[in-house]
Amino acid sequence: MNKSSLKKAALAASAVAVLSVPLLAGTVPTTDAAATTKATTAQTTPAKAPTSTTAKVATPKNVILFIGDGMGEASRNAIRYATVGKHGTLEMDSLPVSGLVRTSSSDNLVTDSAAAATAIATGVKTYNGAIGVDVNKKPVTTIMELAKKAGMSTGVVTTSQVTDATGAAFGAHVENRSAQSDIAKQYIENSKIDVLLGGGEDFWYPKGTPGAHTDAPAEDPTEASKGTQGNLVERAKQLGYTYVTDSTELQAAKGSKLLGLFANEEMFQAHNELGNKYNPIVSLPDMTTKALDVLSSNKKGFFLMVEEEGTDEMAHDNDAELTIQAGQQLDKAVKVAKDYAKKHPDTLVLVTADHETGGMVIEGADDEEESGDGDSKEDGPFTVANSQEKFYIDWTTGGHSAVDVALTALGPGSDQFSGNYQNTAIHDKLVKLLKLK
């Protein structure tokens, strides 16, 4: 590594450390005079019964886990600056409990999504590329499988292929994350996940059998059906799934089992010679809303994992504009979950990441650019919302980094997620809170 690269790495580490401070404050500070008066009055008047939803319910019945793939703390801050400004607060950061999660895999300081999601889903550290198996390639039971055995409903929602690494780790067991048709088959036949919404139609149909989304589209001619397990869409229908392919069909869908595939691959275009686009035909907030509508019919509760993939893929391309745009959609989906939790106080909401991508650094408009090209190319300027101020994004890598990622939480049991802990602890804490065996 040359001196310039060393300097960049140091800047990235220091920037992330500095940026993490406000997030770890736990609760959002208030300057509201009425709130201050109320707090003062409470010291001199008899205490009233608690009114917070977390005080009413001791343990959760439902869990909504958001994973912003590749979304480090600098990413959360960049999304915040661009969306609500220096003094605003994102939905994901207004959750009252904050923690930091360590992300390394069993065989590498820098994890990939497969190993990280497996750790969160199973409580077991494993090698990069592994889905639901341990270092000896033996299957490890996932929290969604435990939830299913307890009678709960389960769901995976993502803007990536629904069979991509993050979602797959919650409902499949394969030695290599690339076996996406095997993952799809396991979803519907073994783990029996109730709601599956995302992209990746190509892995559900065999080669030569295009589905609702045209093979070899102009935006990416390499996309085409490539499934290895037969026609899994027809198999899903046989097993009772309602199958939908666009927003209109999604809104009209009925029943307790739902499969929605809204793109050949990811629900956007990244690493594309024609240019990146974040353009899902069904938004992450809309998919989240529908998933909650379907899953909430189960009186025994549900476990829903919602992933935004664009925060990772666009960061791999060092595309700050679309990284921020994807993060804004994630934040809107979190708002959907928060609104649901207000009406259902037995719901625990968590927002975290599997790892950080890009080694992002946020810089002021007057900072000197050191290189101007390569992985450290400066991106911007971007406007700080509600101001005339500008900021730039600098990148130190096109890959992942080993820094901790933030976790914020709301609802019964959320207090268990403060502090600094391994990603495997997320699984362990949830198993205990849900009283799963």
Phi-psi region of 269 (alpha: psi -120 to 50; beta: other; left: phi over 0): beta
Q: How many residues are recorded in the chain?
A: 437
Whether 296 sits among the annotated catalytic residues: the reply is: no
The number of helices, as runs of H, and strands, as runs of E, in the chain is 14, 15
SS3 of the chain: helix, strand, coil, percent, to 5: 35, 20, 45
Q: Which of 104, 113, 160, 225 is catalytic?
A: 113
Distance CA 294, CA 254 (A): 8
Continuous H helices in 278-377: 284-295, 310-316, 320-343
Concatenated DSSP letters of 381-431: EEEPTTSS-EEEEE-S-SSEE---EEEEEESTTGGGG-EEEETHHHHHHHH
Read off the tokens for 373.
Answer: 């090209």
Distance CA 419, CA 428 (A): 15
Catalytic residues, which ones?
Answer: 113
